[in-house]
């Protein structure tokens, strides 16, 4: 009896140990889903974030989106663990309007808006009465007016809020620029039909424009730099800490310098 009983006990113990080992292995596997809009930010996820997370033991899935609505919907409903495509102004407005609780973890180098022209070779050459195509959405329009003020083409009411300035806040227009508001996605094509066009960086890159061909690039406030976002309930998670650590690493900045030429760095990165 003992001859059969002891081996049976050993077999049961071995089975239990194998089962426990399988459960531990499953729990230790860290699969994360990241999302971004097609173009430079999904490229950044694939080239910078995915390899760094894999080195930390994660299995990484990247999803590309073609609009600015679905990445936050997917993050909010749990289909994504983090996304990269938006700046803090958009994140705050979208979260408020859609009753979502999302948080930005850290800003990353971002493709700046530029003023492009096939008519003028420099901003100093801009002639009186020149037409300029500008984004028709308030946030990107405000960015355009700030660039034009930085380069002496207009002056804005100093009492106006920087992030919401509009054409009505223009106090002087020394070149009598004629503003032509259009959908931001059409601005790359407007370089052909207007004297000047203010093109957001992501749309310029999607149209295979060279950021460095711009007459001037914006010195954007950090509120307009894109950020890594998560659900607020996950802002202190291990993944959130690892994402911040990756962005703050010297290797991340080196990759940006090599692969994303012309991207403007956030203040925290420039000042370290």
pLDDT in tens, 192-217: 999 999 999 988 998 999 999 999 99
State residue 14's pLDDT score: 44
State residue 28's pLDDT score: 43
Radius of gyration of the chain (CA): 25
Q: What is the pTM of this model?
A: 0.78
186 & 125 share domain: yes
> Shortest CA distance to 65 belongs to which of 32, 42, 88?
42
148 & 210 share domain: yes
Quote the domain boundaries for residue 130: 114-219
pLDDT in tens, 36-74: 988 899 999 999 999 999 999 999 999 999 888 999 999
> Shortest CA distance to 196 belongs to which of 212, 174, 180, 217?
180
State residue 13's pLDDT score: 45
Q: How wide is the angle at C-alpha 140 spanned by C-alphas 134 and 146, nearest 5°?
A: 85
85 & 150 share domain: no
> Shortest CA distance to 35 belongs to which of 83, 72, 90?
83
Residue 67 lies in a domain: yes
208 & 230 share domain: no
Last residue of a domain, one of 196, 219, 242: 219
51 & 94 share domain: yes
Last residue of a domain, one of 219, 234, 250: 219
State residue 21's pLDDT score: 45
> Shortest CA distance to 84 belongs to which of 92, 94, 72, 76?
72
State residue 38's pLDDT score: 84
103 & 236 share domain: yes
State residue 196's pLDDT score: 98
74 & 124 share domain: no
State residue 114's pLDDT score: 97
Regions of the chain with pLDDT less than 50:
1-2, 4-6, 8, 10-29
Residue 13 lies in a domain: no
130 & 65 share domain: no
State residue 12's pLDDT score: 45
């Amino acid at each position: 009896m003992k001859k059969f009983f002891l081996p049976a006990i050993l077999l049961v113990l071995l089975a239990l140990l194998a089962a426990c080992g399988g459960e531990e292995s499953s729990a230790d596997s860290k699969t994360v889903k990241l999302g971004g809009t097609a173009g430079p930010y999904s490229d950044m996820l694939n080239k910078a974030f995915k390899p760094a997370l894999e080195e930390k033991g994660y299995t990484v899935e990247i999803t590309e989106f073609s609009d600015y609505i679905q990445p936050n919907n997917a993050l909010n409903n749990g289909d994504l663990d983090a996304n990269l495509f938006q700046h803090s102004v958009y994140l705050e407005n979208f979260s408020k309007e859609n009753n979502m609780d999302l948080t930005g973890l850290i800003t990353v180098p971002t493709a700046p808006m530029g003023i492009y022209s096939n008519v003028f070779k420099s901003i100093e050459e801009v002639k009186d009465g020149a037409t300029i195509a500008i984004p028709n959405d308030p946030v990107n329009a405000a960015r355009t007016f700030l660039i034009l003020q930085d380069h002496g083409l207009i002056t804005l009411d100093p009492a106006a809020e920087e992030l919401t300035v509009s054409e009505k806040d223009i106090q002087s227009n020394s070149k009598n620029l004629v503003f032509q508001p259009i959908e931001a996605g059409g601005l790359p094509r407007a370089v052909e039909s207007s004297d000047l066009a203010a093109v957001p960086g992501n749309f310029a890159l999607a149209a295979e424009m060279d950021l460095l061909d711009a007459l001037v690039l914006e010195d954007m406030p950090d509120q307009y730099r894109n950020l890594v976002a998560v659900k607020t309930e996950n802002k202190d998670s291990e993944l959130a800490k690892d994402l911040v650590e990756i962005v703050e690493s010297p290797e991340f900045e080196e990759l940006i310098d090599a692969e994303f030429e012309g991207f403007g760095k956030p203040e925290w990165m420039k000042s370290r």
